[in-house]
Amino acid sequence: MIDTMRQGPVLIFSGVIVLTYAWLAYSMLVLSSPMAAMLVYYPIFCYLGGSWIARNTAGFDALQNKIPRHAKPEFPLIFLSFIATAVLWLCTLLIRPGLIEPELITNGLDSLGMTVGKYWGPAGFLAIANPFAEEFLWRYGVLRFLMVRVSRNSAIIVSSLLFAGYHPLVVAMLFPAPWLVLIFAITFIGGIFLSHLYLRTRHLAYPIILHLVININLMVIGYLYAGGS
């Protein structure tokens, strides 16, 4: 009976992760519908799944009390936001003939219905809803769950790998296959920074704000390559 009780949270955690990946793979690769993917991913897997994982996580607060807290968390937030913005705009230098064809991104956005005249509706939804939902699942749910079971560094690395792993599926329409590896690597590094920010500030608002800054920059960059109406 005790072993079953101990295994319960692990099964819930594993089930949420597996089902999340399965849904995103199916909706993106089979349905080819990113908006359908997100409309289910955010409320079902991020909020409900994250809540389910969080409810089955005990001991995190006591563990966190052993970690020094940022005296002024707004300073690392501003610094990380600046660095993330600079990196994203430097990456636009790759979007040129011979590296990443601009037409690939334009055609991918067109296939999503995100032309110039219809861009900011879905882009605004993704930019705002995505940080709240994803930070709730991957930092508040997954990272906290792992923190009470493995070492701090292992929890950060594993949660960041899980966070980064699905991103190539989501942007597969926009980038050639070799560049999906780069997207995975950048997202993995971003997950590490977001995890550290959450653990050191002890408040989900800070990674949400940084994530929001990143998404807004991505949407502005995307608009530069959106096709005509």
Q: What is the pLDDT of residues 155-179, one digit of tens each?
A: 999 999 999 999 998 887 777 788 8
Positions of the chain with pLDDT lower than 70, given as ranges = 1-7, 60-66, 229
Give the pLDDT score at 72: 80
> Is the Cβ–Cβ distance between 81 and 213 less than 8 Å?
yes
First-residue to last-residue Cα distance in the chain: 62
Token match 């920074």: residue?
Answer: 193
How many separate helices (H) and strands (E) can be counted in the chain? 12, 0
> Is the Cβ–Cβ distance between 212 and 82 less than 8 Å?
no
pTM of structure:
0.90
Give, in order, the Cα–Cα distances in Å from 189 to each of 50, 88, 115, 132, 218. Answer: 21, 13, 30, 19, 16
CB atoms within 10 A of CB 90: 9
Q: How far apart are CA 188 and CA 180, in angstroms?
A: 12
